[in-house]
């Protein structure tokens, strides 16, 4: 979990460590040993510091980036190293509790064991100035929405999306109807670019406690929508929905009942009115430091799952036991199970 702080002392100590780098080298494989399963990170920029710990897929991302870098030894006079330059964004990586430490500057330099390198190759996996937006680019602070106010998707017909706003609280909620469509790509939400311009009424609505109201939104300006996960953003409110491969609204709900002993017990419910199909293939994901959902590292053999789909009748609810033994023992934390054949997903927590 990342911790943000305005820490001048930490920033100065990081810059001091960078300034001390001189002229000794170490084989790159030793910088991030295969036995390392976590890396403590400190990012300093604009007199602000951010701290967090890389685990799982994030460690592999860092290891892959290091392996693909082209390193060219760089020599500097005392007091003129890149670490002496103010204003650069500095990253400190501490492996195995500080047994190995190296530094990276976004200006294109890396320092390890008093040796400076000019680096080229793949882009650095994280960008300090974008981290806050990457954490949650589409969700506003929850406190801006009065407690009890929710929005849900009811229907999608001929490109017209119908939603219902409910106010189960006591405070009056004011809102407009300017909307944005987002879709999930590669584990994070991105704004969907409309193919043509569209307009909305410039009206301020009020929703008192105990009231509800339906609205319709025209999604046809976004063109043909393929199967996937989508989110309607209406001011501070969001409503997620899933489209099947044919672009129809998927009304099936997925609930994770529990995950233990290599099995995920889930509940699929189809309120109708149409039958729906479902597959048995699933992945378990966790959010990385940027807020992106990434699959957990595989620790065992991947069990083959039949690619066929079964039918879930309208009005039917079933319980499935899905094999997730390929992830080994899953530690406590917050996760998401995604049925990758039909885009359904549900978050869950292991205490």
Q: Tens digit of pLDDT for each residue in 237-278?
A: 999 999 998 889 999 999 999 999 999 999 999 998 999 999
Please identify which residue in the block is written with the tokens 């500057």: 105
Lowest-pLDDT choice from 50-64, 124-138, 250-264, 298-312 = 124-138
Of 202, 231, 249, the last residue of a domain is 249
Using 50, 70 and 90 to split pLDDT, how confident is the model at 231?
A: very high
Output the pLDDT for position 213. 97
Q: Which residue has the higher pLDDT, 13 or 189?
A: 189
Output the pLDDT for position 66. 85
Of 249, 267, 288, the last residue of a domain is 249
Average of per-residue pLDDT values in the chain: 81
Output the pLDDT for position 61. 81
Q: Which residue has the higher pLDDT, 331 or 32?
A: 331
**Which residue range(s) make up the domain with 302?**
251-350
Q: What is the DSSP letter of 112?
A: E
Q: Which residue has the higher pLDDT, 83 or 199?
A: 199
The answer on 268 and 222 residing in a single domain is no
| CA-to-CA separations, 308 to 39, 51, 66, 211, in angstroms, rounded | 41, 45, 40, 44
The answer on 147 and 211 residing in a single domain is yes
The answer on 328 and 300 residing in a single domain is yes
Cβ count within 10 A of residue 116 = 24
Q: What is the mean pLDDT of residues 152-159?
A: 95
CATH number where 305 lies: 2.60.40
The answer on 68 and 146 residing in a single domain is no
The answer on 229 and 161 residing in a single domain is yes
Q: Which residue has the higher pLDDT, 34 or 9?
A: 34
Q: For residue 147, give the nearest of 130, 116, 169 by alpha carbon.
A: 169
Determine the Cα–Cα distance for residues 244 and 242; give it in Å rounded to an integer: 7
Quick check: 341 pLDDT over 90?
A: no
Quick check: 308 pLDDT over 90?
A: no
- In degrees rounded to 5, what are phi and psi of residue 165? -100, 130
Determine the Cα–Cα distance for residues 124 and 104; give it in Å rounded to an integer: 9
Angle subtended at Cα 159 by Cα 155 and Cα 162, rounded to the nearest 5 degrees = 30
Quick check: 234 pLDDT over 90?
A: yes
The answer on 148 and 30 residing in a single domain is no
The answer on 71 and 110 residing in a single domain is yes
Using 50, 70 and 90 to split pLDDT, how confident is the model at 21?
A: low
Q: Which of 29-43, 134-148, 181-195, 286-300 has the highest mean pLDDT?
A: 181-195
Q: Convert the pLDDT of each residue in 39-74 to its tens digit.
A: 888 887 666 677 778 877 778 888 888 888 888 888
Determine the Cα–Cα distance for residues 319 and 207; give it in Å rounded to an integer: 37
The answer on 257 and 244 residing in a single domain is no
Cβ neighbors of 284 (< 8 A, separation 6 or more) are 259, 264, 295, 296, 324, 327, 330, 335, 336, 337, 338
Q: For residue 213, give the nearest of 171, 182, 175, 170 by alpha carbon.
A: 175
Angle subtended at Cα 39 by Cα 38 and Cα 45, rounded to the nearest 5 degrees = 150
The region that residue 158 occupies, defined by phi over 0 for left and psi between -120 and 50 for alpha, beta otherwise, is left
Cis bond upstream, residue 273 (ω within 30): yes
As beta bridge partners, residue 105 has 90, 109
Of 89, 114, 133, the last residue of a domain is 133
The answer on 118 and 30 residing in a single domain is yes
- Judged by DSSP in three states, 63 sits in helix
- Judged by DSSP in three states, 28 sits in helix
Quick check: 335 pLDDT over 90?
A: yes
Retrieve residue 84's tokens.
Answer: 């002496």
The answer on 7 and 124 residing in a single domain is yes
Per-residue DSSP letters for 293-329? Answer: EEEPPP-SPPPP-----EEE-TT-EEEEEEE-GGG-S
Domain count, the chain: 3
Beta strands in 123-187 (DSSP E): 149-157, 160-167, 173-175, 179-185
Handedness of CA 63, 64, 66, 67 (dihedral sign): positive
The answer on 128 and 32 residing in a single domain is yes
The answer on 126 and 152 residing in a single domain is no
Using 50, 70 and 90 to split pLDDT, how confident is the model at 140?
A: very low
């Amino acid at each position: 979990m990342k911790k943000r702080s305005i820490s001048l002392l930490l920033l100065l100590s990081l810059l001091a460590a960078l300034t001390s780098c001189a002229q000794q080298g170490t084989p790159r494989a030793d910088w991030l040993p295969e036995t390392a399963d976590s890396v403590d990170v400190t990012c300093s920029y604009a007199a602000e510091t951010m701290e967090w710990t890389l685990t799982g897929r994030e460690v592999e991302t860092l290891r892959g980036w290091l392996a693909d870098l082209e390193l060219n030894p760089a020599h500097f006079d005392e007091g003129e190293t890149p670490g002496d330059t103010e204003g650069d964004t500095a990253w400190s990586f501490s492996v195995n509790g500080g047994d190995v430490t190296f530094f990276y500057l976004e200006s294109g330099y890396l320092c390890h064991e008093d040796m400076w390198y000019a680096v080229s190759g793949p882009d650095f996996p994280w960008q300090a100035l974008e981290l806050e937006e990457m954490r949650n680019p589409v969700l506003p602070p929850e406190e801006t929405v009065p407690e009890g106010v929710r929005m849900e998707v009811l229907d999608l017909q001929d490109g017209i999306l119908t939603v219902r706003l409910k106010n189960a609280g006591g405070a009056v909620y004011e809102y407009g109807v300017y909307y944005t469509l987002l879709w999930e790509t590669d584990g994070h939400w991105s704004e969907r670019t409309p193919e043509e311009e569209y307009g909305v009424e410039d009206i301020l609505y009020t929703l008192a406690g105990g009231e509800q109201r339906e609205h319709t939104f025209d999604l046809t300006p976004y063109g043909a929508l393929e199967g996937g996960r989508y989110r309607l953003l209406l001011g501070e409110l969001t409503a997620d929905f899933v489209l099947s491969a044919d672009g129809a609204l998927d009304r099936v709900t997925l609930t994770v009942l529990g995950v233990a002993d290599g099995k995920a017990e889930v509940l699929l419910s189809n309120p109708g009115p149409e039958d729906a199909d479902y597959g048995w293939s699933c992945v378990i994901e966790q959010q990385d430091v940027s807020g992106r959902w990434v699959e957990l590292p595989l620790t065992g053999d991947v069990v083959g799952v039949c690619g066929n789909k079964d039918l879930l009748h309208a009005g039917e609810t079933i319980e499935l036991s899905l094999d997730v033994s390929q992830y080994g023992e899953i530690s406590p934390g917050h996760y998401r199970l995604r049925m990758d054949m039909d885009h359904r997903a549900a978050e869950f927590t292991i205490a």
